[in-house]
Amino acid sequence: MKDFFKLLKREIRICMNNSSIFFSFSTFFITSSLIFVFALDDLTNIIVFYKPVVWVVLIFSIMLVSENFLHEDYSDGSLKELQFLGFSEETIFLCKSLAMWLIILIPAVFLMPIILIFFKLSYNDVLKLFLNIFISTPSLTLISLLSALFSIQLKRNKIVQFVIILPFFIPIVIFTTTSENFAEPSKYFGDQLLILIGIFFITLPVCLYAGKLIMREINK
């Protein structure tokens, strides 16, 4: 555990020193949201379909910055050196995922007021959206980081990368964008969160195992 926290501290420190991650994530998210908003003729119904817009933009924003967490370490040999120092592939992948999740969650908190203004949401809707983001982004982070590993292995072949990875986002998108049952909205929201937690516990071991295999392959 001591080695795990030491590696996690290293990853967070590297991320905090790389301000381009915050800038890239926030800029892409705001710009893409504005495109959707301004493309609409009638803004009165924007609250009806704000969820698909937010989640599509969020997924692509996460995928945009995911490469920053691996490609530099792979290029300068740090990824291989960490394995040489005795850190397992699972530990490296998990620490990078945790660091990425924390770095993504921080700008997401500050983007909530902007989302409130863009899509004319109530504070209750924004709170529910943030809870969804808080619970879903660990799964999105794991999948996106796995996507970045695929990008390294496939020599940055983006088309193949998207074809392989994007289907894994579908269950999360389905359960985060489905309309609430207005008969019992609170019960539905609670069930939705439990489903998203369940998806995370499925995604975690699958991504750790797949990440381990890919790291071994690219570091041969």
Q: Express each pLDDT in 139-148 by its tens digit.
A: 999 998 888 8
Given this model, what pLDDT does residue 43 score? 60
> Half-sphere exposure of residue 106, counting CA atoms within 13 Å on the CB side?
12
Segment 47-65 mean pLDDT: 82
Given this model, what pLDDT does residue 206 score? 92
CA distances from 208 to 60, 80, 169, 205 (A): 21, 17, 16, 5
Instruction: Kindly calculate the radius of gyration of the chain based on its CA atoms and give it in whole angstroms.
Output: 18
Among 20-29, 63-72, 108-117, 183-192, the minimum mean pLDDT is found in 183-192
Write the pLDDT tens digit of every residue in 104-151: 888 888 887 787 777 777 788 888 888 888 899 899 999 988 888 887
Given this model, what pLDDT does residue 128 score? 84
Query: Residue 158: phi, psi to the nearest 5?
Result: -65, -35
With 0-12 / 13-18 / 19 or more C-beta atoms within 10 angstroms meaning exposed / middle / buried, residue 171 is middle
Distance CA 191, CA 111 (A): 26
Given this model, what pLDDT does residue 182 score? 42
Helix (H, G, I), strand (E, B) or coil at 76: coil
Least Cα distance to 103 among 12, 39, 208, 204 occurs for 12
Number of separate domains in the chain: 1
Identify residue 48 by its one-letter amino acid code: V
Among 181-185, 186-190, 194-198, the minimum mean pLDDT is found in 181-185
Distance CA 165, CA 118 (A): 29
Distance CA 62, CA 137 (A): 9
Domain region containing 135: 2-218
Write the pLDDT tens digit of every residue in 150-184: 877 776 556 666 677 778 888 888 888 775 544 44
